[in-house]
Structure 1
Amino acid sequence: MIAVLGADSPIGLTVIRELGERGLPLLAQGKTPQALGRYSKHVKHFVSTSAPIAEWLPQLVAQHGIEAILAYSEHHLLQLATLKGALGNCRVLVPDAGRLATVLDKQRTFAAAARVGISVPASWSPAPGENFAERAATLAYPVAIKWPDPNYVASALAAQGLDLEKVEYAKSAQELLAILRRYDAVGLWPLVQTWCPGQGLGQMLHMHGGHATLRFQHKRLREWPPTGGVSSFCEAVPLDQHQAQMDLSEALLREIGWEGPAMVEYRHDPATGSYWLMEINGRFWGSIPLAYHAGAHFAWETYRCRVLGQSDAAQPELKSRRARYVIPDSKHIAAILRDSRLPLGRRLRATIGFLADFADPRVRYYVWSWRDPKPFFGDMLAIVRRALRRGS
């Protein structure tokens, strides 16, 4: 029995499908009884709990004879890293705590990137006692504002009633200072980075023994929110493109000592050929359904290398695919239509393109699958129930 933690999202659902299609018996865990993955035909057992892992996982491992555990949320990965070696013969297929800490801290990630020759955005880390106004006046705008280690600050922000923002943007020193003042009571401030032009390019690798055994890459076509967030529509990019950068991505993961799956995320400017590192996702990432549909199966590769002990490269012939996360993608186009600052022609072209993509034979979906349709209908039912509760 293999346990997949985090069946609540398309990421967990994709991991379930990859392993289940190869005949592995699966137990899935979700935070709620309506978790997407529980409806998959591949799931033999499902448990719903949001309690700390140490309170329920050891008993579950013993009860079901779990052979290996996979997870993707940083919350779960951090907890599982402390349980390695404490679950008998069960393989905990997550990074060790030290390397995970490196990829979760953008400053440490950028330092490693500089050592292997990867460009990073110019950054400023506001510190106590520093004159923020003077420094803000020297920056080139716009700038992106993001936390270098979101997990480290989450509890401190919550204690002050503040939301953890994935990324914010400021077009002027005044806007930047207003954002920074929000965190004065916390005594911690986010990282400020120069804005990098171009489009999102993700290079995905599975590392084993210091080498990549599987590679994939994609570019973002749309995201939600449009200013930067989850990839709502993305496209596979052939591996004969960006080859030199893929080699650098592998060198970066080797420099960190990474083992397992990771996505190295860049902003790529086709006009200049420049690449700027944004972050490393040291886990299964949000757009992994695209890799799955294109034939790059990273969850299976993790199991194959770590449990079956097969260390040879397993690069398949990849299919030309696009993948769509329908609800966020619908929110994206709705936001474009409502944005009166955009020319009408641009909004109309975006709408026509959005609708035409439903007829594109290359397009697959984050949730819907003819081979495993029940998660889609379970998700639709959950959406209807939430809407009815809001209306009552």
Structure 2
Amino acid sequence: MGALERGSLGAHSRYVDAEVVYPDPASQPAAFVDAVETAAEAKEYFAVIPTRDDTTTAIARHKDHLDATGTLAGVEDWSRFRRVADKARTVALAADLSVPVPETWTPESPDAVAAIADEISYPVLVKPRSKHVADDQGRLYTHEISDRDYAHSPADLRSTYERLATADPGMRATPPLVQAVVDGDTATTVGVADDGELVATFQELRLRTTPHSGGSSTLIRGIHDDQMRAYADELVAELGWTGPIQVEFMRSQEDCYLIEINGRYWGRSRWRRPRASTSRGSTSACWRASGRQSTAAPTGASSSSDCCTAT
């Protein structure tokens, strides 16, 4: 079990036999990867499994370092990961498919925002391209969407964009995007994919979030939506994705509009698995999710093989 400091909650589990303390992956991504690599070399871990946006981003960016140790990294390749981590890239991905997305603009400067401010319909949302935006050195800066990020007029858009675009070095390096607001309910298709095919899925409707304007789910309901599943299948196939994935939509009366894709482990990928629908055994898919170069558990390995979880 890896954590920022000793005595983390997870380290007290009876299933954890060692604790690895690492530097902050957001402010010291290179040092974090070095610490995980050193731990992997010191003990024959089967896999390193990051569970947060910052740990997943840092490990995906330096996945080749861990691959060299013989320990599998439970993340996608950086080229694929960037297509889901960066919302502008995700919108471009969907634009080449049949998947609907809210109208989206990617201005690179306040002047570019001013040029569209009087031409678009309101309200719109000004949002970072990722929850963790990197600066030129790879340091990550966290951004949570709030009510302040919604613009209801041209003047409101200009001021909101300028505030976010200058918030920190990460936002200055990667300016936010502007997206039309779609009325509806947030719904997701979550699951595990194997080489571009979803092999275990669960669909949910978000009933309550914290904060209300958009955040973590605090109450959800399981649903079945064939159209949403078809869109998720199309996206996963185009990505050629292997591993856990969450495809989030705004579900309106007209259609399901893609909002974002999360390519990492999260709470519902663990707790919802017992109710997941499977097209074939999900155990083998979970092995594959730990590393694209391996299609089965190592010889002699079992489900109790050692893993280091970066929480």
| TM norm. shorter chain > 0.5 | yes
Q: Which residue, 80, 83, 92 being the options, matches 1:102?
A: 83
Judged with a 3 Å threshold, the aligned counterparts in structure 2 of structure 1 residues 150 and 137 are, in CA distance, closer, same or farther, namely: same
Aligned to 1:77: 56
| 1:101-135 CA distance string (max 9 Å, x none) | 11112122112212220100101222337353342
Maintained 8 Å contact 1:94/1:260:
yes
How far off is 1:50 after superposition?
Answer: 2.3
Maintained 8 Å contact 1:93/1:302:
no
Matched, 1:60 2:39: yes
How far off is 1:292 after superposition?
Answer: 4.2
Secondary structure of the corresponding residue to residue 141 of structure 1? coil
The amino acid of 1:250's aligned partner reads D
For residues 154-173 of structure 1, the aligned pairs below 5 Å read: 164-166=143-145, 168-173=149-154
How far off is 1:38 after superposition?
Answer: 1.5
Secondary structure of the corresponding residue to residue 17 of structure 2? strand
Count of residues paired in the alignment: 276
The amino acid of 2:203's aligned partner reads Q
Structure of higher RCO (CA pairs closer than 8 Å, 6+ residues apart):
2
The amino acid of 1:144's aligned partner reads L
For residues 373-388 of structure 1, the aligned pairs below 5 Å read: none
Maintained 8 Å contact 1:128/1:187:
no
How far off is 1:74 after superposition?
Answer: 3.2
Q: Which residue, 249, 264, 269 being the options, matches 2:232?
A: 249
The amino acid of 1:128's aligned partner reads S
Aligned to 1:35: 8
Maintained 8 Å contact 2:132/2:142:
no
Maintained 8 Å contact 1:147/1:191:
yes
Judged with a 3 Å threshold, the aligned counterparts in structure 2 of structure 1 residues 310 and 211 are, in CA distance, closer, same or farther, namely: farther
How far off is 1:194 after superposition?
Answer: 0.6
How far off is 1:235 after superposition?
Answer: 2.0
For residues 1-392 of structure 1, the aligned pairs below 5 Å read: 28-51=1-24, 52-81=31-60, 82-84=62-64, 86-128=67-109, 130=111, 132-153=113-134, 164-166=143-145, 168-183=149-164, 185=166, 186=172, 189-237=175-223, 241-269=224-252, 272-288=253-269, 290-292=271-273, 294=275, 302-306=285-289, 309=295
Secondary structure of the corresponding residue to residue 130 of structure 1? helix
Listed as ranges, the gaps of 5+ residues in structure 1 are 1-27, 312-392
**Greater percentage in helix:** 1
Maintained 8 Å contact 1:206/1:301:
no
Judged with a 3 Å threshold, the aligned counterparts in structure 2 of structure 1 residues 47 and 188 are, in CA distance, closer, same or farther, namely: closer
How far off is 1:165 after superposition?
Answer: 4.1
Greater radius of gyration (CA): 1
Judged with a 3 Å threshold, the aligned counterparts in structure 2 of structure 1 residues 163 and 173 are, in CA distance, closer, same or farther, namely: farther
Q: How does the TM-score come out when normalised to structure 2?
A: 0.77
| 1:233-274 CA distance string (max 9 Å, x none) | 21222xxx21132022111111022111110000002xx241
Measure, in 2, the Cα distance between the counterparts of 1:309 and 1:188.
Answer: 36
Q: How does the TM-score come out when normalised to structure 1?
A: 0.62
The amino acid of 1:189's aligned partner reads P
Judged with a 3 Å threshold, the aligned counterparts in structure 2 of structure 1 residues 293 and 86 are, in CA distance, closer, same or farther, namely: closer
How far off is 1:296 after superposition?
Answer: 7.3
The amino acid of 2:188's aligned partner reads G
The amino acid of 2:100's aligned partner reads S
Maintained 8 Å contact 1:32/1:49:
yes
How far off is 1:98 after superposition?
Answer: 0.3
Listed as ranges, the gaps of 5+ residues in structure 2 are 25-30, 167-171, 298-311
Question: What is the RMSD of the two structures over their aligned residues, measured on CA atoms?
Answer: 3.1
| 1:274-313 CA distance string (max 9 Å, x none) | 11100000111354454146467999665433568469xx
Measure, in 1, the Cα distance between the counterparts of 2:145 and 2:136.
Answer: 15
Measure, in 2, the Cα distance between the counterparts of 1:199 and 1:236.
Answer: 13
Secondary structure of the corresponding residue to residue 59 of structure 2? helix
Measure, in 1, the Cα distance between the counterparts of 2:53 and 2:154.
Answer: 33
% identity of equivalent residues = 24
Maintained 8 Å contact 2:47/2:73:
yes
The amino acid of 2:17's aligned partner reads K
How far off is 1:225 after superposition?
Answer: 0.6
Judged with a 3 Å threshold, the aligned counterparts in structure 2 of structure 1 residues 208 and 73 are, in CA distance, closer, same or farther, namely: same
